[in-house]
Chains A and B, each alone.
Chain A
Amino acid sequence: AQSVAQPEDQVNVAEGNPLTVKCTYSVSGNPYLFWYVQYPNRGLQFLLKYITGDNLVKGSYGFEAEFNKSQTSFHLKKPSALVSDSALYFCAVRVFSGAGSYQLTFGKGTKLSVIP
C-alpha cells in the first residue's frame, strides 16, 4: 500500500531555531509528495509539493522540503521558526485509486509548537 508516515506526534522548537518535521514515504514508482499546514479550527493550507526535479523544494511562508530518494524521506524544514508557525502539519502522497483516478493519502499529522 502506498502511504506516508510521520514518526513524531509533536515537535517542540524554540523561536528562532531551525525546525524539521519528518515524513517518510512508501510508494511504488515515482512519488508525488505534498505538505499541508492546519491552524486551529481551519482548513488545510498547501505549503509545497515535490513532483520531479530539484530535491530541495521551496514553498510558502519560508518553508522548504528535501526529497531524499535513498532514505524515502520528504522532511519539512525552516531555517528560523516563528511562534506563528505553531500548527498541525500533514505530509501527503498521491495514490492511484483505480480507473485513472488519484487521491491524497495523509500522514497522521505532527503538531509543531514554537516556544517564545
Chain B
Amino acid sequence: DTEVTQTPKHLVMGMTNKKSLKCEQHMGHRAMYWYKQKAKKPPELMFVYSYEKLSINESVPSRFSPECPNSSLLNLHLHALQPEDSALYLCASSQDHAGTYNEQFFGPGTRLTVL
C-alpha cells in the first residue's frame, strides 16, 4: 500500500465548531506532516511528527491542534477557526524525517471551508 488517505474530502464548518481531520498511511513511514495550501500557492508546512513526537510546529495558531495517536495515524483538531483558515489541508508522510532526503508522499487533501 503506497497511499496516504485523508478524511473527510470536504468539510464545511462554522467558526464555533470543533472538527477533526484524519490522515492514515500504511507504508511504515515514521514521519508525518500537515500542510496548508491556498489556491494556486505552494503548500505551507504546519507541523511535523517524527516517530510520533511533534518535531516541528511552524508557529501555527493554537486553534489548530495536531495529534499522532500511532505511527500510522495523524489527526488535526480544529476549533474556533476563522474564514481565512479556509484552504486545502494536505497530509504527507516520508520514511523518516531527521537527517533524511526521502521524498514525501501526499494525500489528496481535505478541502476546508470556514463560514
Report if A and B associate in a common complex.
yes
The 0/1 profile, CB within 8 Å of B marked 1, for residues 23-67 of chain A is: 000000000101010000111111001010000000000000000
Contacts of A45 in B (CB 8 A): 106
Least CB distance from B49 to A in Å reads 11
Main SS at interface, chain A: strand
How far, in whole Å, are A41 and B111 apart by their CA atoms in the complex?
A: 8
The reply on A77 being an interface residue by CB < 8 A is no
Among A36, A45, A107, residue most surrounded by chain B Cβ atoms (within 10 Å): A36
B98, A43: Cβ atoms closer than 8 Å = no
Interface residues on A, range: 20 to 34
A90 within 8 A of B: yes
Count of interface residues, chain B, beta-carbon cutoff 8 Å: 27
In contact, A101 and B101 (Cβ under 8 angstroms):
no
Interface centre among B88, B97, B103, B106 (most CB of A within 10 A): B103
Complex Cα–Cα for A103 and B57 (A):
12
- Given A43-B107, A101-B50: A107 and B4 within 8 A (CB)? no
Of all chain B residues, which has the CB nearest A94? B101
Chain B residues 58 to 86 lying within 8 A of chain A, measured CB to CB, are none
Known: A44-B90, A97-B56, A109-B40. A104 touches B106 (CB 8 A): no
The 5 closest A-B pairs by CB, nearest first: A43-B106, A106-B42, A32-B101, A44-B106, A46-B103
Residues of A at under 8 Å CB distance from B?
Answer: 32, 34, 36, 41-46, 49, 51, 88, 90, 94, 97, 100-104, 106-109, 111
